[in-house]
Structure 1
Amino acid sequence: MLIIIRADASQSIGSGHIMRCLTLAERLRVQGAEVSFVCRNLLGNLSEYIRRQGFEVHLLPRDEACDLALKRPGQVWLEPTWKSDAEQTMGVLKRYRRTIDWLIVDHYGIDHHWQSRLRGGVGQIMVIDDLANRHHDCDVLLDQNYYHNAVDRYHGLIPKDCALFLGPYYLLLREEFYRARKDIRIRTGEVSNILVFYGGADTTNETDKCITGLSDYISSKLEINVVTGQSNSNKARIKDFCSSRQNMYYHCQVLNISELMNKADLAFGAGGFTTWERCFLGLPSIVTVTAENQMETTKAVSDLGAIWNLGWYEEVNTATLFKALEKFLIEPSKLVDMQKRARNVVGARASSGMEQLVEVIFQRRVD
């Protein structure tokens, strides 16, 4: 079985799309599929990282229009046009000279126009999305987020016979998280270890803001682990800041984030996919919304009491973060309760959901 994944990463887009696709790609490869990636050569792309995981990467060319467009607020990150991107992607697919069973698309800039153009060159199309703001021409759609109205969000946006996989039950979690879940510890509410991780790119620079806010509280009893991705443009300054502070430790592009999460008593982070990783391990977290597509699901999970939502990043400052830490230091029972609620949001059977998804992919292979 041959599967092609179209996804991008950059300093502006972040690394989330690629990382979750890599998780799915690894599971498909274990089952015997051949998986390759098609990515645009944007600044901060993760092509070398993907190759180190053992997958082939086809890079679409970057031009100045791409880099300029990615700096515009609200840009959907497909440049120069959907037509040219579709033609370039089709050119890659034709090189294989054999049947491509599945095309998996994880890209906010791609909709039914692009997908319909590629339809004739592949057997089936799967879309990974969480915006529910555009039409898709796909056979399977995966949205891992929690919403009060999960099914209704895609009404009228997908073909009637499209198979929907909705909610945290279908999380694309790496194997390390299932191993970490087996060793999950029950937290007492006492805070001695804090994890700061706002995603790989952290385009709004929340990491810098957070560690500045927390630095006044550093003592010999408190350890703070600060994590960034390789694509974080502020990583040098963050590293220097951590080096100058007692018990603040810097990590870049780590392979053991689940281990750091399991050790932590409290986390500061963004409202993206790492929300689910933290919940899966029962890690209480103070969350800042750093992108519009995080608003709805962050509020929904906060309403369940599984996270503490600070709101939109422009309204969060160093004082806000410091006060949030103080709140939970004073009321440790709230962290104990949040831990239980976080674990319940995802549950222990997320691997079963991904197995069901993989099974459907293999059942629908082209004969």
Structure 2
Amino acid sequence: MKEGTKLLVIRADANREIGMGHLVRSVSIQKIATKNKIQSKLVLDKLDSHAKSWLSKKNIQYEDLGDSSALKSDVENYSELMLLYDIDHKFSTQKNYELLKEEGIKKNLTTYAFADLARKWNKTNIDYIIYPYIGYEKGLHLNSQRAIYGPEYFILREEIKLLNPVQTIKKSVEKITVSMGGSNPNNTIENALRVILGSHFSGEINILMGPIASIDLRLVDRYIRESSCHVTLHWNVKNFELKLKESDIVITNDGLTKYESLYLGIPTIMITSFEENTLLMHNFSLATGAVSLGQVTEENLHDQSTCLDAVLDSLERRETMSTSGKRIIDGNGTDRLIKMLFR
């Protein structure tokens, strides 16, 4: 055993159902850990072919959770183990915790989990909960001494951090970007398109989709034919961050893309993909100035398009939305988190 040495093990999943956000965030954490000369391992599970292809193209090394013997052999070489869970709560199981708790490892084990996972697990199994979001704190009641809390810990992808935030908001909106991150839960892209086409917007619509996104092409094609807007579908776009920055407005969901658009200073409108996140998105809107439309239904579609019109028509409002977003997300969250983990 290497006395006095620490190993950071990062557990993540990625597939078409849960998206790529957990994996992308975990990779960003590992990059900063490496930059700070911290030993780390990326341990993955629930990967589908798209997630594996993404990892291969980026030459990212990882270990399979199923290879438990190799993992235990690795961790036994360190005197202290730090286990960071970035797993979707729908897929988490106790075996993930038990795997590294065996063989007396628990004595030198400190566990961390993002709030996504903490909603499901018995919270006594996690030493520290990470809240890098806005709104979650109202649904989770934990001792503040066990929480690493606040959007100042939000983790941006390196590609986003390399860009300079928008400084000037255009007088008129010419380009709206629709992106639901790596996937398209509950057909949120199609619903966003319905909201836009019900407004008076007549410019360019860019729809950015990740490698594991699925979309109803027949329905989207029908919407496009009925619209005066110029609509372009970008599938598995390689320069996602540049497309995002070119936007005058971003429409996204209750995932992580909204934090990236806030950092870039782009006025952001959110559509809720999952009903249970409606209150969360409302709280997020109050704190950041971003606009939350809730879930799209036939009953509220007209009102949601009218709400979009109000944003389109007010330069002052869009300038305020831009300024608020840049103030809340400054891009240094990963560095703060690493420092907190290894304090």
TM-score (norm 2): 0.79
Q: Give the deviation of 1:18 after TM superposition.
A: 1.2
Counterpart contact for 1:197–1:227, Cα < 8 Å: yes
User: Could you say what secondary structure the match of 1:205 adopts?
Assistant: helix
Do residues 170 (structure 1) and 153 (structure 2) align? yes
- Distance of 2:98 and 2:72 partners within structure 1: 16
Counterpart contact for 2:134–2:287, Cα < 8 Å: no
Q: Supply the AA of the counterpart residue of 1:98.
A: N
- Distance of 1:175 and 1:278 partners within structure 2: 14
- Distance of 1:197 and 1:250 partners within structure 2: 10
The 3 A distance-change label for structure 1 pair 231 and 238 is: farther
Give the paired residue count: 326
Match of 2:30 in 1: 25
Do residues 332 (structure 1) and 337 (structure 2) align? no
User: Could you say what secondary structure the match of 2:271 adopts?
Assistant: strand
The 3 A distance-change label for structure 1 pair 327 and 30 is: same
Deviates more, 1:244-253 or 1:223-232: 244-253
The 3 A distance-change label for structure 1 pair 290 and 279 is: same
Do residues 155 (structure 1) and 142 (structure 2) align? yes
- Distance of 1:166 and 1:293 partners within structure 2: 21
Which residue, 31, 46, 55 being the options, matches 1:50? 55
Match of 2:83 in 1: 103
- Distance of 2:124 and 2:92 partners within structure 1: 8
Q: Give the deviation of 1:305 after TM superposition.
A: 5.5
User: Could you say what secondary structure the match of 2:155 adopts?
Assistant: coil
Counterpart contact for 1:6–1:37, Cα < 8 Å: yes
Q: Give the deviation of 1:204 after TM superposition.
A: 0.7
Q: Give the deviation of 1:354 after TM superposition.
A: 2.5
Counterpart contact for 1:287–1:309, Cα < 8 Å: yes
Which residue, 108, 117, 130 being the options, matches 1:142? 130
Q: Give the deviation of 1:178 after TM superposition.
A: 2.7
- Distance of 2:12 and 2:243 partners within structure 1: 27
Q: Supply the AA of the counterpart residue of 2:263.
A: F
- Distance of 2:242 and 2:150 partners within structure 1: 24
Q: Give the deviation of 1:113 after TM superposition.
A: 7.6
The 3 A distance-change label for structure 1 pair 293 and 27 is: farther
Match of 2:3 in 1: none
Match of 1:94 in 2: 72
Match of 1:81 in 2: none
Match of 2:295 in 1: 312
Counterpart contact for 2:165–2:264, Cα < 8 Å: no
TM-score (norm 1): 0.75
Do residues 127 (structure 1) and 95 (structure 2) align? no
The 3 A distance-change label for structure 1 pair 203 and 301 is: closer
| Structure-to-structure mapping, 1:1-367, within 5 angstroms | 2-43=7-48, 46-59=51-64, 88=66, 90-96=68-74, 98-99=77-78, 101-107=81-87, 108=89, 109-110=91-92, 114-115=96-97, 118-119=100-101, 120-121=104-105, 123-130=109-116, 132-133=118-119, 134=121, 135-147=123-135, 149=137, 153-155=140-142, 162=146, 164-180=147-163, 182-215=164-197, 222-234=203-215, 247-292=230-275, 294-304=277-287, 306-314=289-297, 319=302, 321-346=304-329, 348=330, 350-351=331-332, 353-362=333-342
Query: Unaligned stretches of 5+ in structure 2?
Result: 1-5
